[in-house]
Amino acid sequence: MASSARVDLDGNPIKAMTICMIGAGGFIGSHLCEKLMAETPHKVLAVDVYNDKIKHVLEPASLPWAGRIQFHRINIKNDSRFEGLIKMADLTINLAAICTPADYNTRPLDTIYSNFIDALPVVKYCSENNKRLIHFSTCEVYGKTIGSFLPKDSPLRQDPAYFILKEDASPCIFGSIEKQRWSYACAKQLIERLVYAEGAENGLEFTIVRPFNWIGPRMDFIPGIDGPSEGVPRVLACFSNNLLRGEPLKLVDGGQSQRTFVYIKDAIEAVLLMIENPARANGHIFNVGNPNNEVTVRQLAEMMTEVYSKVSGEPALEVPTIDVSSKEFYGEGYDDSDKRIPDMTIINTQLGWNPMTSLWDLLESTLTYQHRTYAEAIKKAISKPVTSS
């Protein structure tokens, strides 16, 4: 519920603002819209080409926040009407991007255009109109860890200096150009540099967010149900799809890569702190992740199998995983980040934010949602007789 007595981290009253949110119809955008409507007095100008994931926030007109959120169906690639929306807003948040790894090596041009070229006018309009910008980058800008280049048995691999990722100190280490996986990370890095330079040379007020594998309900799609049958979403949705269909989870190159996963609801708290504490957030790049939730992808698959069995009441598969090569799964040009642990110093110091939810708990609530949302539809899809053409 919106309240007029809300104060920022320094005890100052928070004034209601208008936020232009580009990419509001996606996974993160949908959770951010929900939060802003339910708990703040801010207005949102929601821009996207889709709105399926925010329908419940936009309608019906009897919602308590009706009138505080408007949806604008705009493709920022070829429709400059969003400049007017940026001018009307106090703050712009840019979430729009192609951000599924299956696209990086197979659609590198679309990936680079989406993450760099299409983001350029957003930065330019904010800078020219003296509007604050929160730009969504990625933990992938770190690429591979320094430690991954050490011999396998080197004791230095255990030294945090060789793997902890720090916003203001770690290098960005990508693979060769033929490894088109890095088209996304490279485009994100360049737009970060541009935003930073606009801040340094033209006084743009900016914050850059580097999400470390935020997961939860509404992430991506389930192939053949609310997305293309041949589509490859991010790992949470891939594994959810396998579990819902009762098929083994596919481990790419042995599932040895490591990730830290943070619950979307924890991460959204961090974004709200950035929105409402400009004096503490402006000019900063923030890692937003949960260093305590690190697993290998294999461990993630095992945990998801156990949690899904618990929440669905169905027995776990006898053969829960199978190995696939990255070439078979993603195609030529795939490569991977070996390990991603965020350093939390900057976000702790500036915003006092810490993630709360364990991996087990976040999987339990997310897989409960997946089961409730998709199990019936999958059953129907599986039982449909295959028609011959």
Ligand X SMILES: NC(=O)c1ccc[n+]([C@@H]2O[C@H](COP(=O)([O-])OP(=O)(O)OC[C@H]3O[C@@H](n4cnc5c(N)ncnc54)[C@H](O)[C@@H]3O)[C@@H](O)[C@H]2O)c1
Contacts with ligand X by CB under 6 A lie at: 23, 25-29, 47-50, 75-77, 95-97, 99, 114, 118, 136, 138-139, 211, 213-214
Contact call for residue 213 and ligand LM6KSONS (CB under 6 A) = yes
Residue 182, helix vs strand vs coil: helix
Q: Which of 36, 89, 134, 238 binds ligand LM6KSONS (CB under 6 A)?
A: 238
Binding at 147: pick from ligand X, ligand LM6KSONS, none (beta carbon under 5-8 Å per type): none
Residue 83 or 167: the one with the smaller Cβ distance to ligand LM6KSONS is 167
Residue 24, helix vs strand vs coil: coil
Q: What letter represents residue 322's amino acid?
A: I
The phi, psi pair for 244, rounded to 5°, reads -65, -35
Smallest separation (angstroms) from ligand X to the CB of 48: 4
Binding at 252: pick from ligand X, ligand LM6KSONS, none (beta carbon under 5-8 Å per type): ligand LM6KSONS
Out of 104, 125, 142, 184, the active site residue is 184
Smallest separation (angstroms) from ligand LM6KSONS to the CB of 318: 19
Smallest separation (angstroms) from ligand X to the CB of 359: 14
Smallest separation (angstroms) from ligand X to the CB of 151: 30
Give the strand pairing for 294-296 and 258-260. Answer: antiparallel
CA-CA distance, 212 to 57, in Å (whole number)? 26
Q: What letter represents residue 161's amino acid?
A: A
Residue 76 or 91: the one with the smaller Cβ distance to ligand X is 76
Binding at 259: pick from ligand X, ligand LM6KSONS, none (beta carbon under 5-8 Å per type): ligand LM6KSONS
Smallest separation (angstroms) from ligand LM6KSONS to the CB of 2: 30
Token digits for 11? 């005890």
Contact call for residue 235 and ligand LM6KSONS (CB under 6 A) = yes
Q: Degrees (nearest 5) of the Cα angle 141, 253, 228? A: 75
CA-CA distance, 48 to 108, in Å (whole number)? 21
Q: Which residue is nearest to ligand X (CB)?
A: 26
The phi, psi pair for 232, rounded to 5°, reads -120, 100
Give the strand pairing for 91-94 and 18-22. Answer: parallel
DSSP letter for each residue of 214-280 = EE-TT-S--BTTTB-TT----HHHHHHHHHHHT-PEEEEGGG--EEE-EEHHHHHHHHHHHHH-HHH
Smallest separation (angstroms) from ligand X to the CB of 329: 19
- Name residues contacting ligand LM6KSONS, limited to 108-167 (CB under 6 A): 138-140
Q: Which of 54, 164, 252, 341 binds ligand LM6KSONS (CB under 6 A)?
A: 252
Binding at 96: pick from ligand LM6KSONS, ligand X, none (beta carbon under 5-8 Å per type): ligand X
Q: Any catalytic annotation for residue 184? A: yes
Smallest separation (angstroms) from ligand LM6KSONS to the CB of 108: 13
Q: What letter represents residue 319's amino acid?
A: V
Residue 29 or 147: the one with the smaller Cβ distance to ligand X is 29
Residue 138 or 321: the one with the smaller Cβ distance to ligand X is 138
CA-CA distance, 374 to 238, in Å (whole number)? 13
- How many Å from the N-terminal Cα to the C-terminal Cα in the chain? 54
- Plot region of 255 (φ>0 → left; ψ -120 to 50 → alpha; else → beta): left
Residue 204 or 363: the one with the smaller Cβ distance to ligand LM6KSONS is 363
- Name residues contacting ligand LM6KSONS, limited to 329-348 (CB under 6 A): 336
Neighbours of 156 (CB within 10 A): 12
Task: Pick the closest to residue 16 from 59, 84, 54, 67 (CA basis).
Answer: 67
CA-CA distance, 58 to 55, in Å (whole number)? 5
Catalytic positions, written as ranges:
184
Which residues lie near ligand LM6KSONS (CB under 6 A)? 99, 101, 138-140, 184, 213, 234-235, 238, 250-252, 255, 257, 259, 297, 336
